């Protein structure tokens, strides 16, 4: 084994950094050789599946949140990625337990307190039941691959929220503003 193959523990971070820099330079150099049509983004936007929806600090699920990120690899290659998440919540009554009517929204929809059956934390939510919307708002319903109804809350002018937010803000916690 020759001396250059074995780095001391003190030299290893520097060697790793140099390897990364070398590989990055190779990628950047290769990108300049791509045909112009390959330098355009292949994906304009992405819609994440419903289970990718997350809650913000208020406990509300995000609705129609768009994030745009620009990534510059070389001066010749800049890619813009736009990700739009549309909240579709599993609102099928068969997915829920501890269901209790709370109030009617200004648009006349019944709002409920409920828990999801598969939620080990037993967190309380406030939202609608998909089956209530079958005849009145079918455009806001989507069936997932398991046959359960999902609701596009943004098409109802509502958002699902936590019971805590409901108790603090009342009807404002479920209305899209």
For residue 22, what is the enclosing H or E element? helix 12-31
What pLDDT, in 10s, does the model give residues 20-46?
666 666 555 655 665 555 545 554 444
What pLDDT, in 10s, does the model give residues 4-26?
556 666 666 767 666 666 666 65
Measure the N-to-C terminal CA separation of the chain; round to a whole number of Å: 68
Q: Are 72 and 80 contacting, i.e. CB atoms less than 8 angstroms apart?
A: no
Residue 38: predicted pLDDT: 52
Tell me, what DSSP letter sits at residue 91? -
């Amino acid at each position: 084994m020759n001396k250059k193959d074995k780095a001391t523990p003190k030299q290893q971070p520097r060697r790793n950094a140099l390897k990364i820099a070398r590989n990055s330079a190779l990628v950047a150099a290769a990108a300049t050789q791509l045909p112009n049509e390959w330098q355009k983004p292949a994906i304009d936007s992405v819609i994440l599946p419903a289970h990718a929806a997350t809650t913000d600090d208020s406990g509300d699920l995000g609705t129609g949140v768009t994030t745009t990120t620009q990534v510059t690899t070389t001066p010749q290659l800049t890619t813009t990625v736009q990700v739009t998440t549309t909240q579709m919540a599993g609102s099928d009554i068969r997915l829920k337990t501890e269901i209790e009517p709370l109030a009617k929204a200004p648009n006349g929809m019944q709002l409920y307190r409920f828990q999801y059956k598969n939620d080990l934390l037993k967190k309380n939510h406030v939202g609608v039941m998909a089956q209530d919307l079958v005849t009145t708002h079918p455009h806001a319903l989507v069936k997932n691959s398991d046959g359960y109804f999902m609701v596009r809350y943004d098409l109802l002018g509502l958002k699902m929220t936590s019971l805590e937010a409901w108790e603090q803000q009342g009807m404002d916690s479920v209305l899209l503003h």
